[in-house]
């Protein structure tokens, strides 16, 4: 019988790895740091030992010796919305071929400074913010990153100065929505969930008002909202509640524009449960163009955020900041796409 294969030892340090391969510690260190002028057989010898033992060099130790971490910190508003998770996923996919990994943290209220300081302690090479953050807090964190010469990009937050921003052009998205509905003959619009202090909501309302005025319509007279009447918790249920409230009005708007797809679907189903036909009696438009839009009958018209393009520009911005420090603040607007489906149709002639 042959001899049993010898189990490789557990390696916990570069010194132990050097002893295992029979090379000096300095040579092993040079291999781990991808230094030039090394013999191919030496590099192969160390790499084979790494595969055999499963040893992973200490990234912090390598950084202290001058090697960049190749890590991008990602500060997330939360991990609850599908669009935020999609942005993180696409960001990781685009950074991987460039040799970078990501470290994602959720920005908890009252702990904003801890997240950024954690990133700085790990010597990340750049930080990307995804979501909506209090402008004052975000401005402080960006100033801290600037003091440490750490590049940053802010995705979706437009109300902060001295930042490099990449965001969907939400005002243009609403102009497209309103233009589409006006072309179908709609003149009275219900707004579902389009309220609150976020700049993204302010931008969208500006787009709605601009588009209505371009059609000779007065926004205050042709739009209505019931948001203030109810507490907003779950988006789907909020949509149902708003639709139920609108359904009691003697003059029901003929078109509804929702803050997101969940709110739109909740409203659509509630209208249908009350005997209203979509789009023959009411048209409904969502926002984000999630797979959820394909699960209703009719399917939901929605605004696509162009996540791939948004994150492609974000990666170009953050890598540009790493390779060419001290870049000026800028705002890049991503063009939206209105995806037309069966939930929008001609305005009814008689109410």
DSSP for 262-303, written as a single string:
HHHHHHHHHHHHTT--TTTT-EEEEEE--GGGGSSSSPPEEE
Q: Does the residue 1 lie in any domain?
A: no
Question: Is 90 exceeded by the pLDDT of residue 316?
Answer: yes
Residues of the chain with pLDDT > 90: what percent?
A: 62
Distances in Å between the alpha carbon of 328 and those of 151, 278, 317, 334? Answer: 11, 48, 11, 19
Contact 339, 323 (CB under 8 A): no
Question: Is 60 exceeded by the pLDDT of residue 62?
Answer: no
CATH number, domain of 23, equals 1.10.260.40
Higher pLDDT, 268 or 28: 268
Q: Does the residue 318 lie in any domain?
A: yes
Residue 334 CB burial class (10 angstroms; 0-12, 13-18, ≥19): buried
Same-domain pairing of 202 and 286: yes
Same-domain pairing of 146 and 23: no
Contact 218, 183 (CB under 8 A): no
Same-domain pairing of 79 and 150: yes
Q: Does the residue 345 lie in any domain?
A: no
Same-domain pairing of 231 and 162: no
Residue at a domain's end among 23, 42, 64: 64
Rounded distance, CA 286 to CA 274, Å?
Answer: 20
Rounded distance, CA 91 to CA 68, Å?
Answer: 20
Q: What average pLDDT does the segment 223-250 reach?
A: 95
Same-domain pairing of 184 and 259: yes
The total number of structural domains that make up the chain: 3
CA-based nearest residue to 129, from 140, 287, 59: 140
Contact 28, 17 (CB under 8 A): yes
Question: Is 60 exceeded by the pLDDT of residue 66?
Answer: no
Q: Does the residue 181 lie in any domain?
A: yes
Same-domain pairing of 174 and 274: yes
Same-domain pairing of 180 and 298: yes
Tokens linked to 270: 């509630």
pLDDT-derived band at 351, boundaries 50, 70, 90: very low
Same-domain pairing of 142 and 256: no
pLDDT-derived band at 68, boundaries 50, 70, 90: confident
Handedness of CA 236, 239, 240, 241 (dihedral sign): positive
pLDDT-derived band at 71, boundaries 50, 70, 90: very high
Same-domain pairing of 253 and 328: no
Q: Does the residue 148 lie in any domain?
A: yes
Q: Does the residue 343 lie in any domain?
A: no
Q: What does the pLDDT read at residue 161?
A: 80
Rounded distance, CA 260 to CA 136, Å?
Answer: 26
**Least reliable range by pLDDT among 91-100, 104-113, 120-129:** 104-113
Handedness of CA 228, 229, 231, 237 (dihedral sign): negative
Same-domain pairing of 144 and 214: no
Q: What average pLDDT does the segment 250-277 reach?
A: 97
- 149-161 pLDDT, tens digit per residue, is 899 999 998 878 8
Q: What does the pLDDT read at residue 88?
A: 96
- Which residues constitute the domain of residue 262? 170-304
Rounded distance, CA 69 to CA 62, Å?
Answer: 8
Helix 14-21, helix 40-53: angle, nearest 10: 110
Q: What average pLDDT does the segment 205-233 reach?
A: 96
Same-domain pairing of 121 and 91: yes
Tokens linked to 7: 């189990």
**Least reliable range by pLDDT among 2-11, 42-51, 190-199, 324-333:** 2-11
pLDDT-derived band at 247, boundaries 50, 70, 90: very high
Q: Does the residue 257 lie in any domain?
A: yes
Question: Is 90 exceeded by the pLDDT of residue 333?
Answer: yes
Which residue blocks in the chain are alpha helix, DSSP H? Answer: 14-21, 25-32, 40-53, 59-64, 82-95, 112-121, 135-147, 170-183, 199-214, 219-222, 235-246, 261-273, 307-323
Contact 270, 239 (CB under 8 A): yes
Mean pLDDT, rounded, of the chain: 90
CATH number, domain of 153, equals 3.40.50.2300
Same-domain pairing of 208 and 286: yes
Q: Does the residue 243 lie in any domain?
A: yes
């Amino acid at each position: 019988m042959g001899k049993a294969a010898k189990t490789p030892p557990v390696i916990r340090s570069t010194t132990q790895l050097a002893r295992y391969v029979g090379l000096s510690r300095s040579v092993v260190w040079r291999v781990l740091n991808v230094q030039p002028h090394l013999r191919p057989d030496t590099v192969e010898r160390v790499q084979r030992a790494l595969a055999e033992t499963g040893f992973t060099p200490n990234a912090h130790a390598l950084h202290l010796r001058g090697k960049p971490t190749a890590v991008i910190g990602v500060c997330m508003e939360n991990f609850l919305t599908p669009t935020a998770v999609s942005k993180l996923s696409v960001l990781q996919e685009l950074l991987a071929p460039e040799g970078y990994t990501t470290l994602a943290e959720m920005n908890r209220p009252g702990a904003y400074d801890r997240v950024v300081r954690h990133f700085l302690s790990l010597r990340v090479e750049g930080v990307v913010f995804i979501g909506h953050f209090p402008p004052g807090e975000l401005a402080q964190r960006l100033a801290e990153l600037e003091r440490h010469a750490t590049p940053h990009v802010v995705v979706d937050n437009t109300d902060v100065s001295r930042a490099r921003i990449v965001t969907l052009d939400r005002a243009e998205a609403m102009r497209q929505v309103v233009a589409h509905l006006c072309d179908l003959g709609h003149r009275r619009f219900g707004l579902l969930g389009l309220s609150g202090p976020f700049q993204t909501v302010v931008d969208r309302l500006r787009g709605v008002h601009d588009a209505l005025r371009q059609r000779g319509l007065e926004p205050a007279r042709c739009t209505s909202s019931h948001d203030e009447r109810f507490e907003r918790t779950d988006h789907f249920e909020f949509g149902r509640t708003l639709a139920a409230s609108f359904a009691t009005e003697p003059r029901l708007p003929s078109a509804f524009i929702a803050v997101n797809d969940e709110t739109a679907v909740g409203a659509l189903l509630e209208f249908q449960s009350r005997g209203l036909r979509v789009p023959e009696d009411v048209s409904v438009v969502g926002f984000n163009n999630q797979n959820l839009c394909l699960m209703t009958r009719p399917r939901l018209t929605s605004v696509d955020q162009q996540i791939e393009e948004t994150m492609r520009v974000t990666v170009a911005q953050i890598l540009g900041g790493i390779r060419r420090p001290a870049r000026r603040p800028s705002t890049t607007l991503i063009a939206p796409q209105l995806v037309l489906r069966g939930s929008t149709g001609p305005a009814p002639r008689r109410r």
